[in-house]
């Protein structure tokens, strides 16, 4: 999953949707019970309105939480000690440039291979965590 919090508080996506879904599953049951156990049409309508209003607020809250968490991670995350290992194969093909004294070119066709190269990730501050 990429570090994506979505684009708008009123349309949950990315981490905002994940946070919103969990908030809704944890906090909506009492409001749903109020709808299901309403004694009158007015009570039911009031409970439905309360759930609708709560969900709109939860969307905004979810967006704020997701945005804050992701921006904090992207600003402060340090990556250290991750190593990758593998073989490196490079090919150089083409022609040399012309140069005195023999003002002519030579064909070049080289293949280089290095076995078990280890690259260690540092926190040099370049790139982006996604």
The string of pLDDT tens digits covering residues 9-18 is 778 889 999 9
How far is it, in rounded angstroms, from Cα 55 to Cα 26? 12
Residue 127: predicted pLDDT: 61
How would residue 129 be classed by pLDDT, with cut points 50, 70 and 90? low
Q: Using CA atoms in the order 8, 10, 13, 19, what is the torsion angle rounded to 10 degrees?
A: 110
Residue 126 counted as domain residue = no
70 and 19 housed in the same domain: yes
Tokens (6 digits) for 21? 């879904």
100 and 71 housed in the same domain: no
pTM over 0.75, yes/no: no
61 and 24 housed in the same domain: yes
Residue 31 counted as domain residue = yes
28 and 72 housed in the same domain: yes
Lowest-confidence segment of 13-17, 71-75, 122-126 by average pLDDT: 122-126
Domain that holds residue 34: 14-76
For residues 32 and 51, the answer to whether their CB atoms sit within 8 Å is yes
In this predicted model, what pLDDT tens digit does every residue of 81-101 receive, in sequence order?
788 888 999 999 999 898 888
Residue 3 counted as domain residue = no
């Amino acid at each position: 999953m990429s570090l994506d919090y979505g684009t708008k508080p009123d349309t949950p996506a990315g981490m905002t949707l994940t946070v919103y879904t969990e908030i809704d599953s944890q906090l909506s049951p009492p409001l749903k019970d109020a709808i299901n156990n309403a004694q009158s049409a007015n009570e039911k309508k009031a409970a439905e309105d309360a759930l609708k209003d709560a969900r709109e607020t939860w969307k905004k809250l979810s967006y704020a939480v997701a945005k804050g968490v992701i921006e904090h991670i992207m600003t402060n995350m340090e990556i250290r000690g991750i190593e990758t290992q593998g073989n490196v194969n490079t090919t150089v093909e083409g022609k040399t440039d012309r140069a005195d004294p023999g003002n002519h070119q030579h064909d070049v066709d080289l293949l280089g291979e290095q076995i078990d190269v280890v690259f260690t990730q540092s926190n040099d501050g370049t790139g982006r965590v996604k």
